[in-house]
Amino acid sequence: MRKKVTVVGAGNVGATTAQRIFELGYADVVLTDVIPDLPQGKALDILESGPLVGSDAKIVGSNGYDETAGSDLVIVTAGVPRKPGMSRDDLVLTNLKIVSSIIGEVVRFSPHSIILMVTNPLDAMTQAALELSRFPRSRLFGMAGVLDTARFRTFIAQELNVSVEEVQAYVLGGHGDTMVPLVHTTTVAGVPITDLLEGEKIDRIVQRTRDGGGEIVKLLKAGSAYYAPSAAIVEMAESILLDRKRILPGCSYLEGEYGIRGLCVGVPVKLGAKGVEQVIEVKLSHEEMAALQKSAAAVKELVELMHRSEVAKAS
């Protein structure tokens, strides 16, 4: 019997994620969105590709959550992108309302599911969803580090003209300006990156990685990345659905690891059938630890903003 995956949000990221999972063939998919007929149309289009890609999986679209009942994995991509003139605080509070409504329905219809958050700002929305769902940290976490790491590896491979498969790296911390590429553990075919590239070139690659999403937004003029984000989501989903025990950077609630407590921050985690089965603590340099603490502080600011808004609303 195939696993059941729900993708919430039928925009570019959500629809492309649904397509990728359907094409793999080992999970049935429900694509849900509030826009009438949009998820139904996209799901039917994807379903009709089955004979061409060799997939017998099922996919349906929905404007509600009845069809999602009993999902093994729920991937939340719904939310508004940051628009011109919109502050970071505005984005947090707008998407907090959206995430709050979604999580309530997911918990109602799929109380034993694993939830993978993708909505931005990722770290804050993961924290909000965890608090709203009251799920254990093993069953609710976020995707960002896999994408950031893929960008980092891409840029290194381009610079050295080697296969991306030869580049091993991690990007930790928050999904934004304070992310932390771990330069001292980055290798190419086992050779430290610091032996292959000058410090100035490494710094340039690190900065391009931090600006990766913005670079694509600038080029597209309207919209944001979705091919690489959807591939990153599926890498995490595969490790869960197939119990592969991959060690990947994920936004997980920390309980003292890396000296951080009570916050969802990007760190290496082991992903299997039970979700986050272990938070992996890697040895960081003094500079990297300081950068991770700075990144956590930025996440904490957004979380405190959310909490203040909730208190204000309650009063």
| Tens digit of each residue's pLDDT (9 = 90 or more) over 212-256 | 998 998 999 888 899 999 999 999 999 999 999 999 999 999 999
Sequence ranges of the domains in the chain: 3-142, 145-304
What CATH number was assigned to the domain covering residues 145-304? 3.90.110.10
Q: Which fold has domain 3-142?
A: Rossmann fold (3.40.50)
For 173-208, write each residue's pLDDT tens digit. 999 889 999 999 999 999 999 999 999 999 999 999
Distance CA 269, CA 315 (A): 38
Question: Would you please indicate which residues are annotated as catalytic (active-site) residues?
Answer: 175
> How much is the pLDDT for 91?
83
> How much is the pLDDT for 87?
65
- Convert 114-142 to b/e letters by CB count within 10 Å (16 or more is b): bbbbbbbbbbbbbbbbbbbbebebbbbbb
pLDDT higher than threshold 80 for residue 269: yes
The sign of the dihedral angle between the CA atoms of 122, 128, 133, 137 is: positive
Q: What are the backbone dihedrals phi and psi of residue 27, each rounded to the nearest 5 degrees, phi first?
A: -145, 140
> How much is the pLDDT for 83?
67
Question: Given pLDDT bands bounded at 50, 70 and 90, which one contains residue 53?
Answer: very high
For 121-171, write each residue's pLDDT tens digit. 999 999 999 999 999 999 999 998 999 999 999 999 999 999 999 999 999
Retrieve residue 22's tokens.
């359907």
**Separation of CA 187 from chain center:** 24
Mean pLDDT estimate for the chain: 95
> How much is the pLDDT for 315?
46
Distance CA 188, CA 166 (A): 5
Distance CA 74, CA 21 (A): 12
Which CA distances in Å does 179 have to 217, 282, 298? 18, 16, 10
> How much is the pLDDT for 85?
63
